[in-house]
Structure 1
Amino acid sequence: MSATGKTISERLLHWYDAHARDLPWRARPGKEAPAPYRVWMSEVMLQQTTVAAVKPYFEKFTATWPTVEALAAADEAEVMGAWAGLGYYSRARNLVKCAREVAARGGFPDTEAELRQLPGLGDYTAAAVAAIAFGRRAVVVDANVERVVARLFAIEEPLPGGRKAIRTHAEAITPDERAGDFAQAMMDLGATICTARDPKCLLCPLAEECEGRKRGDPARLPVKAPKKAKPERVGHAYWIECGGAVWLVTRPGKGMLGGMRALPDDGWSARTDGDARPPLGGEWRELGSVRHVFTHASLTLNVRSLAANAGPHGEGEWWPIAEIDEAGLPTLFAKAARLALAQRD
């Protein structure tokens, strides 16, 4: 308890009541909690993705599929297409699986343990939905909360090992009442005040209690293990054109970019040698390459084009080139398509 007699949670909630961010999936402090569907949707989208990137996707998804029942009834390919560009596509597949299970059982369960059993809901998402949507006391620890707690209690053990201590301290300060608001307050504090670089300690409602600040260098916390160099991969994508249309395929449901519509390629996700065999014979033209960085590897994708009279053997579809922006290509293949179009023009 601070010198003012207020606990950490009381000080933080007082700050949150005045400074909460306005976000489309939230309710203002003191208002009725948002629907579990909206909380769940936003938390899935926000995994390893910025708020700015998520906002338009959240608004598009909730306008197209306003309820979990509507999403459950949606065609998975349509959902995957709407997700294109947001990344981490397994989230979209799990979104549909989870929606169908929730719809089948008649709604979201309201406890953290039951929520954790749903497809795609790990410890963090289950805790967030339980706290924010249902008012349950749950310990919600995302990257922002992790940073705030590590600094608040000067936790020196490097990540990921330090996460156990961080969770223990987060548990200790989570209140029984307004647990959802407290979780969102911690997120907002980390996103706007206790930032990764140049934390604004003079504006922080918890500055008085912060052990990291007392030690003079809060920005160095949490301590992170050195990053490993990402492996480099090389691959090829093929722009096959006929009569104003381009040949597109649907990637296998499992694996990288699974279930997404894409240009044919040479299986680069499983190779590092850059060897490539085009799917059709003919005079291929080299268009250049695009770069893309995944969480686990960096990729140079060389793009080749061919004017053809037929598509390759196997399943695929001719997609009108004039409507390529509506194909729902993931970012990697959207880059390749833009390169092909630039060369074509």
Structure 2
Amino acid sequence: MSPPGGDQLRRSVEEVLLGGGRVWTRREVAERSGVGPERTAQIWRALGFPVVDDDALVFTDADVDALCAGERLIESGLITEESETMMARALGHHLSRLAEWQVHTLWTWMNRDSGHPSGGGELMDHAAALLPELELLQRHVWRRHLAAYTGRVLAEAEADADTRVGQGQGQGQGQGQGGTASGGPVPPRASADVRDRAVGFTDMVGYTRMTRGLDTTELVRVLDRFESLTGDVVADGRGRVVKTIGDEVLFVCESASAAADIALELTARAEAEKGLPQMRTGLAHGAVLSRFGDVYGGAVNVAARLTAVARPNTVLADTAFAGELAGMAAYTLRALRPVSVRGYSRLRPVLLRAGR
């Protein structure tokens, strides 16, 4: 039996990956899921796919099931229609990158020992055999991160409760039994996750100049080492890598001291490792909005600006961050001259070093 042609091969692989073929139009999907045509198109675009004609057979039974699952989450009150679209956009953004890497890895592995691409039948066989393994691995890592973040949220809630109890006891002593400053219950935290955090940007110095003289294999080695080094140091320091943008990594920590330790360790490790460019880091502290895996706020912008003006193998912090470290023997802080950067006419950097 001859291998399938191009279109047939794509359909066959797609059916293996999606658990079925394209059997529904956009209108039919809307009818079967109970989600209106306009919102199905909105969700589809948010996932990163182009809108299709109403009569085109594009969707599968799995697409209907996914829309129905979203409706159940909305009915439960867990999410809203608006947040469903934002969630779809975040999932599409992150998972599309993962899918690209996985397909590239599979294709490279299949053709590593041959001078010509493998046949379509072999691709289907490998996709069918490895898909359950990839799903198992991804589900496990996802659940591990769910457990880790749940633990952090519970710890924060416990700390907040202890703080409120302490404040209530102190105020009660001055206002009468059981009194509070507000005279009522403490309002629940807003749905948006906005808290004071430490933010850090670390990048490789001279990356653009260095990459001009590297072939693809050498460049991949440098990038892999940079991502491994930063990922390991941030994880060991109990921080979180938010994202890697080319030669730069953005991370956040719950405390300034944790971020400072990470930044100093990254600098020391980069200095000691041959073949890896020097690094520089900018740190800031303040209110940070966490939203669908990304972070926003003035502290994020300041950390990025400080990284741009830092010298190789140095760590710069803003005055708010330095204030969090004041009096700690583990660090030395030296205020530098104000600098003018995009968005900030007189940004006051503070040079951070390990204590003597």
TM normalised by structure 1 equals: 0.26
Greater CA radius of gyration, 1 or 2? 2
The structure, 1 or 2, with the larger RCO (C-alpha pairs under 8 Å, 6+ apart) is 1
The structure with the greater share of residues assigned to strand is: 2
